[in-house]
Amino acid sequence: MLSWTSPALNPLPASDVPLRLYDTRTGRIAPIIPLTPGRARLYVCGITPYDSTHLGHAATYHAADLMRRALLDTGVEVEMAQNITDVDDPLLERADRDGVDWRELAASQVELFVSDMAALRILAPQTYRSVSEAMDGIIAVVRSLYQRGRAYPVEASDAEGPDWYLDLSLDGALGDVSGWTQEQMLEVFAERGGDPDREGKRGRFDPLLWSAERPGEPAWDAGELGRGRPGWHVECVCIAEEALGLPFDIQAGGSDLIFPHHDLSAAHAVALGRPFATSYAHSGMVAHEGEKMSKSLGNLVFVHRLVQDGVDPMAIRLVLMAHHYRSDWEWSAQELELALARLESYRLAARRGGHHPGTVHALRSALRDDLDTAAALEALDSWAAGADVEENPSEGPGDVAAAVDALFGIALD
Ligand code: 5CA
Ligand code: ZN
């Protein structure tokens, strides 16, 4: 899939203090040391394109963008991959309800997403691939799991062939990423696409690997497993492997993906005989009107609507920066006002110019410290107020506007 055009990136001279990031799997903040020296590999779970990008999505891709910019600032190259879940229940149901072809629905929503990402100056992933584009590879992974004895059939009354599930009991990897108890898993599994009570399953959390063809649904031929379509988790395993190789450095996404999606994606990889990601970074959930912003609840604030209303996308980035990426928070109009005022004061300060190595150093350190954007805003507020002190005027780069652009993706011109 064609992704968007990245904004120009003019990195600062590299400084090799590593990025420290919270890892959900270990529960600790630790330095990111790329498995391949000088080359970090980052996978971020992409959208299910049946409705527009809302601010929750934007917050998650903004957090991943900051990870990427922080890694670049430590002098390593970053390879990034992102999927598009264009073959999935909610999308197919929406297409059916609205009488449109699922491919058209997906394409129109991807187009909106891509323009939102470009407006927000999020760096584009080098690989941006949908499930339908990756289908040959996904089928190869599904068949390989079958050949390794990890797949079992479950009879489907509404289909000709059986559905296929991954037997988690064989590798014992359930819970490796989330560290959750079975009770915690059960609380969210059904609402996040799982089917704990389906008859014929060997384990409650065994994920659907291959769904048999149903009338009116798109289907592909998977040899011994029959015609059908893939389950959710296997797509990210396949796209990550093809684009980045396994294992890779960081798997990112919103905290609603910790379980089941990231836990079970990793379990698929283990069943294939390979480790998945080395570390797992999760961003908090954005709420609106008291509840998590979600397509199913309909309490959405859309990026493109704000942009259409004349809101500067750079102010949206400043709202996102006001919240630590790992915390849950609620979108409010007052915060946008504050961000617009900030943007104006930063632009004025940028025009004033000057050499501010103290501020630039503070920005870089804040970003490397588990993306401490609040500390970065504090440094920028003092700079804009004219209070920044030139500690080492002769040392290092001091152009704040250039640093704000490279590190935080905010254009101040
Ligand atoms: N296609 C799958 C991932 S493979 C998916 O979860 N799609 S999604 O469209 O539902 O979400 C896309 C990304 O946005 C995911 O990383 C998800 O965790 C994140 N996300 C969804 N809702 C919110 C929210 N309210 N706040 C923050 N992030 C969110
Ligand atoms: Zn995913």
> The tokens of 20 are what?
């420290």
**Ligand 1 neighbourhood includes 162 CB (under 6 angstroms):** no
Distance in angstroms (rounded) separating the CA atoms of residues 213 and 207? 17
Residue minimizing CA distance to atom 11 of ligand 1: 47
How many angstroms is it from 64 CA to the middle of ligand 2?
Answer: 14
Could you tell me which residues are beta bridge partners of residue 329? Answer: 286
Residues 6+ apart with CB under 8 A from 21: 29, 30, 32, 67, 250, 279, 281, 370, 371
Distance in angstroms (rounded) separating the CA atoms of residues 377 and 121? 18
> The tokens of 216 are what?
């009116």
**Ligand 1 neighbourhood includes 49 CB (under 6 angstroms):** no
> The tokens of 293 are what?
């912003």
What pLDDT score was predicted for residue 391?
A: 55
Residue minimizing CA distance to atom 23 of ligand 1: 56
Residue minimizing CA distance to atom 6 of ligand 1: 47
User: Which residue out of 45, 120, 232, 234 has the highest number of ligand 1 atoms within 8 Å of its CB and is therefore the one to mutate?
Assistant: 45
**Ligand 1 neighbourhood includes 85 CB (under 6 angstroms):** yes
How many angstroms is it from 260 CA to the middle of ligand 2?
Answer: 10
What pLDDT score was predicted for residue 389?
A: 56
CATH number 3.40.630.30 given to 20-283: no
What pLDDT score was predicted for residue 345?
A: 97
For the chain, how far is it from start to end, CA to CA, in angstroms? 31
Amino acid at 371: L
How many angstroms is it from 58 CA to the middle of ligand 1?
Answer: 9
User: Which residue out of 85, 256, 326 has the highest number of ligand 1 atoms within 8 Å of its CB and is therefore the one to mutate?
Assistant: 256
**Ligand 1 neighbourhood includes 82 CB (under 6 angstroms):** no
Residue minimizing CA distance to atom 4 of ligand 1: 45
Sequential pLDDT tens for the chain (413 residues): 778 899 888 888 777 789 999 999 999 999 999 999 999 999 999 999 998 789 999 999 999 999 999 999 999 999 999 999 999 999 999 999 999 999 999 999 999 999 999 999 999 999 999 999 999 999 999 999 999 999 999 999 999 999 999 999 999 999 999 999 999 999 999 999 999 999 999 999 999 999 999 999 999 999 999 999 999 999 999 999 999 999 999 999 999 999 999 999 999 999 999 999 999 999 999 998 888 887 778 788 999 999 999 999 999 999 999 999 999 999 999 999 999 999 999 999 999 888 898 999 999 999 999 999 999 999 999 999 986 655 555 556 779 999 999 999 999 99
Over the range 46-81, which residues count as b (16 or more CB within 10 Å of their CB) and which as e? bbbbbbbbbbbbbbbbbbbbbbbbbbbbbebebbbb
Ligand minimally distant from the alpha carbon of residue 51: 1
Residue minimizing CA distance to atom 9 of ligand 1: 47
What's the CA dihedral at 37, 40, 41, 44 to 10 degrees? 160
Distance in angstroms (rounded) separating the CA atoms of residues 89 and 176? 26
> The tokens of 104 are what?
């058209």
Distance in angstroms (rounded) separating the CA atoms of residues 287 and 293? 5
CB–CB of 248/203 below 8 Å? no
CB–CB of 206/167 below 8 Å? yes
> The tokens of 356 are what?
């501010």
Distance in angstroms (rounded) separating the CA atoms of residues 206 and 268? 10
How many angstroms is it from 363 CA to the middle of ligand 2?
Answer: 31
The pTM is what?
Answer: 0.96
What pLDDT score was predicted for residue 315?
A: 98
Residue minimizing CA distance to atom 20 of ligand 1: 57
**Ligand 1 neighbourhood includes 83 CB (under 6 angstroms):** yes
Domain boundaries, the chain: 20-283, 291-408
**Ligand 1 neighbourhood includes 252 CB (under 6 angstroms):** no
